[in-house]
Amino acid sequence: MNEVSLFRLYLLRAMYLLIVVGLGIVVWPGVIYREEPWELMEGVVQCMLAAFSALSVLGLRYPLQMLPLLLWELVWKLIWLIVVALPLWSAGQMDESTWAIVSSCLWVVIIPFVIPWRFVFAHYVKKRGDRWR
């Protein structure tokens, strides 16, 4: 009942591959060949994206074990879109840089379609947690 189809596993692997390749092209050159120091928050963002892409490599081999990585990506982007972008948009105060971040965050709409939700429910909601003592 909690078995995930081979097709769904390949969808997950495709998602991890998209992340690895996309961030590999966009983020890693700046991490590897950085000549000047980043400003504080830009450095935080770039290093988190680099870590996300590096951990996504594990998702190619272990797509189900790395599901929390995709869930984290889905949740933080939804929170940002709802708490930051939506109020700015509804107030008519979206500037060009905010629109750029919104457009980069909107690819998150793909993630819910590749996540095996029955598996997530069975393994992260219904399953007994690890012991506390």
pLDDT of 65-106, one tens digit each?
A: 999 999 999 999 999 999 999 999 999 999 999 999 999 888
Whole-angstrom distance, CA of residue 125 vs CA of residue 119: 10
pTM score above 0.85? yes
Cβ atoms of residues 52 and 23 within 8 Å: yes
Nearest to 104 by CA among 80, 87, 123, 121: 80
